[in-house]
Structure 1
Amino acid sequence: MRRNGYDSYRGRSRFRTVMKVLIGVLLVVLVLAVAALIWLEPYLGYSAGGIRINLPFFRREQPEETGGAPVVVTTPEVLPTPAPTPEEQADFRAVLLPNTALYDGTAAEQLQAAGANTAVFDMKADDGTLGYISELALAAQAEVSAADPALNAAIQLLNDGDITTVARVSCFRDNSVPYYRNSLALHASGGNWRDGGGSRWLSPASAEARQYAADVCRELAGLGFDEILLDNWAFPAGGEGILADDNYPAADGRTAVLEGFLDQVEEALAGYPEVRVSLVTTSAAAAGEAPETGQTAALLERADRVLVSLGEGETLPQLDGPSVIPILAQAGEAADSWAVLTAQP
């Protein structure tokens, strides 16, 4: 506003001076901050915790990489473990014990009294009864399985011990199952054929009968027996009066039937390679003098051991492979190998 023709003059504004200085300072700070940011950029790190500055003089020295060849880890080749081969006993002195010795604790004492080192138990008897509890449907149908629910556990306990145990299996001489299943039996004109002892027989030519016997062997191996002894595993000697039908093929076809049966037993025991399989025969059958049975030396040689019933004046056959053991009526000498398969008084 002019007063008396003159403009009023109040000097320079102090506020404007302060603002200029402040702006200058801020510009300098901004320039320095931008310069610092550009210089620090290689040393900045970003994480969930924020920005981190890793200055060179705060870093730890890292060991230098050595330039060797890369480490190669080689896994050794795992070779399959061969199936155990049943060990052959230096001597074999076996005696049939009553099945009560399976659980009453007297097995070792009875063996010692007989001068034997191997206990034989009749686990499938000639009458068809089983000395253990079976899960097979045919055993249940024929009512031949044992009834004591604690029996199998007792058998396993004995077999886990130091006694060598053998399970005798009367394969086809069976007086029980043919009564319930006539289709599996050897036949006569009037029904089931019976041998001189009055016993019925399952037919080795019946696939179901063969499988039943093989399955019994498998169950016994599962209970821990060291050896399965197959008795009455061929066609009956003599055979007078047997009806010639599908269950009793011609003599020249019987050996092939028995070969198939031994194959089935071998397959059934495939999970138990440590279990030995033995066969019972006669001197005449081993010599090929009983062709009606279907037995041959070649079949017998498939066994781990062959037990031979000798007639008067007969000698043990010579077989390639298995040990040949005489079956005696009573215990033999301590230095010999022998087997007694009849109940002792």
Structure 2
Amino acid sequence: MAYRGSRYTGYRGRSRSVLKGVIVALAVVLALAVAALIMLENQQVFSGEGLHLGNVGQSETPTPSDTTPLVVVTVSPTPTPTPEPTAPVRIAGLPASALTDGTAAQQVQAAGASAAVFDLKGDDGVLQYVSSLTLAAQGGANGSGETRNADIQALNEGDLYTVARVSCFRDNKVPYYVPTLGIKTNSNYNWRDGGDYRWLSPTNADARQYVTDICVELARLGFDEILLDNSAYPTDGHLEYIRKGDAYDAAQFETVVTDFYAQVKSALAAYPDVRLSIVTDSATLLSGSNAVSSQSVAGMTASADRLWVELGESTLTDVQTALAGQGVELPADALVPIADAAGDASSSWATLP
């Protein structure tokens, strides 16, 4: 029995060694499999088709089956429009007869102009149309002719640009018939200027209203522009003969004149297409105001759309430079030189009737 036990002990030991080897091998295989799974984890991509491997660190974007080619459209920025150069203003003064005889357009063309200006209220106070105003009838200022107003309207309905000049306070008619409206001398006569013309008093509210109402009637007749001339206090003649007082108080002059311009502008508000213009002189524009007439740059530009200027010895450039120094920048067509004769086609000019 002892011999048999010794023989079989060696056999059992050999079987255990083989089993241990198998276990170790399986453990190694398992470890390698786990390591492989860990290494491949970041390369696993899930999609609608299941799990598959991708490149590490890259995001896979599905490619559409029907891809439309990308069209790149370059949009150019909208260019800033270049302002059209302002055409020169060329206005020819025509006689009153051209208001009704059908020759206005031909006369304007012959003068090389593009517009016409007529005296509708002259320095003598006479109106070139039939007014409905009481003072016009009282002062014997009315024009005549049953069809005169209709003829004027017909002219203004055409293509010709028309300007109505109004001699505001220089008026030889109405103060003669209605003396209370005139500027007075120390002897209580109607004062006359260096040209022997009477003047309505700018201080008188009825005189200002009369002129304002005339401007409205002219706008109603279809004129494109109302031009106020002699629209402040007189500067010519023996001013020392004028009676001082409430009717002629230099301290009030500028306020009276500026308010008159505003009054006319307001009255024309119902006719927004009608331009309001004022005649002035270069000395007033160069200095900013005139102590005698009491016109001022500020007062005129507050109401006027355009200034007509008697240049005298000055140039248009002188005036423009002076206005710029006062902070006033006028468009090129808002400053028109008054000339003795028609100018050329490249510059602005106006002649008075």
The TM-score normalised by the length of structure 1 is 0.71
What secondary structure sits across from 2:113 in the alignment? coil
Structure 1 residue aligned with 2:244? 244
Measured in 2, the distance between the counterparts of 1:89 and 1:202 equals 38
Q: Distance in 1 between matches of 2:134 and 2:90?
A: 35
Deviations 1:9-47 (A, max 9, x none): xxxxxxxxxxxxxxxxxxxxxxxxxxxxxxxxxxxxxxx
C-alpha deviation, 1:313, in angstroms: 4.1
Q: 1:135 Cα deviation (Å)? A: 0.1
Cα offsets for 1:117-159 (capped at 9, x unmatched): 0100100000000010000000000111011110000000000
Q: CA deviation at 1:245?
A: 2.4
Structure 2 Cα separation of the partners of residues 95 and 125 of structure 1: 16
Q: Which runs of 4+ in 1 moved over 4 A?
A: none
Residue identity opposite 2:219 in structure 1: A
Q: Give yes or no for contact 1:184–1:247 (8 Å, CA) kept in 2.
A: no
In structure 1, how many angstroms separate the alpha carbons of the residues matched to 2:148 and 2:109?
24
Q: How does 1:59-208 map to 2 (within 5 A)?
A: 90-190=87-187, 191-208=189-206
What secondary structure does 1:230 align onto? strand
CA contact (8 A) 1:307 1:325 kept: yes
Corresponding residue of 1:296: 296
Which one has the bigger helix percentage?
Answer: 2
| In structure 1, distance between residues paired with 2:314 and 2:122 | 29
Tell me which moved more, 222-231 or 295-304.
295-304
Spell out, residue by residue over 1:177-229, the C-alpha distance to the aligned partner (whole angstroms, 9 max, x if none): 11111111111123011100000000111000000000000000000000000
| Alignment correspondent of 2:55 | none
The answer on whether the counterparts of 2:179 and 2:190 sit within 8 Å (CA) in structure 1 is: yes
Q: Structure 2: which 5+ residue stretches go unaligned?
A: 1-84
Q: What is the alpha-carbon root mean square deviation over aligned residues? A: 1.6
Q: Aligned partners of 2:182, 2:337: CA distance in 1, in Å?
A: 30
SS at match of 1:110: helix
Q: Which amino acid aligns with 1:213?
A: V
Partners of 2:120 and 2:86 lie apart in 1 by 22
| Mapped contact 2:289–2:297 kept (Cα < 8 A) | no
Partners of 2:241 and 2:312 lie apart in 1 by: 24
> One-letter code of the match for 1:328?
A
**In structure 2, what is the Cα distance between the partners aligned to 1:198 and 1:216?**
24
Shift, 1:163, TM fit: 0.0
Give distance in 1, aligned partners of 2:130 and 2:191. Answer: 28
2:314 is equivalent to residue 305 of structure 1: no
Aligned to 1:320: 329
Q: Secondary structure of 2:195's match?
A: coil
> Is the 1:237–1:290 Cα contact (8 Å) retained in structure 2?
no
Aligned residue number for residue 29 of structure 2: none
Quote the residue 1:253 is aligned against: 252
SS in 2 for 1:218: helix
Choose 1 or 2 for highest CA Rg.
2
Partner Cα separation in structure 1 for residue 289 and residue 228 of structure 2: 20
| Alpha-carbon distance in structure 1 between the residues aligned to 2:150 and 2:179 | 33
The question of whether the paired residues in 2 share the 8 Å contact of 1:168 and 1:228 is answered with yes
Identical aligned residues as a percent: 52
